[in-house]
Amino acid sequence: MNTEFINEFVTMIVSNPQMALFLSVFIVGWLLKEHSSLNNQLIPWALSIVGVVLGLLLIELSLSGGITGLIMAYIMMAFYDKIKGTIEVFFLKE
């Protein structure tokens, strides 16, 4: 991979807490879905809690940060299958 692209990507994530929250919630959700024995019905609850906590830590330590994290978690749950399919097509070619 191009190291310049990786450097720009990391810089974008570090400078934008919403992007860091988005990727963090996606990674946690993916790990819970694909690599844990947690019941699928509990994953939305776990992601909601993770989203609120990360929103408070990354965005703002207030109600606004918690709500932002919760909304981001719900967005990730809604688009998980679409994003997962795209990643598999473009990055995990066999």
Between 68 and 78, whose confidence is greater?
68
Count of domains forming the chain? 1
Residue with tokens 């830590």, as numbered in its chain: 57
Q: Domain range for residue 28?
A: 16-90
Alpha-carbon distance 1 to 52, whole Å? 33
The two tokens of residue 45 are 């609850």
Per residue in 25-76, pLDDT tens? 988 988 988 888 888 889 899 999 999 999 999 899 999 999 999 999 998 8
Quote the DSSP letter at residue 2: -
| Inside any domain, residue 60 | yes
SS (H, E, C) 35-86: HCCCCCCCHHHHHHHHHHHHHHHHHCCCHHHHHHHHHHHHHHHHHHHHHHHH
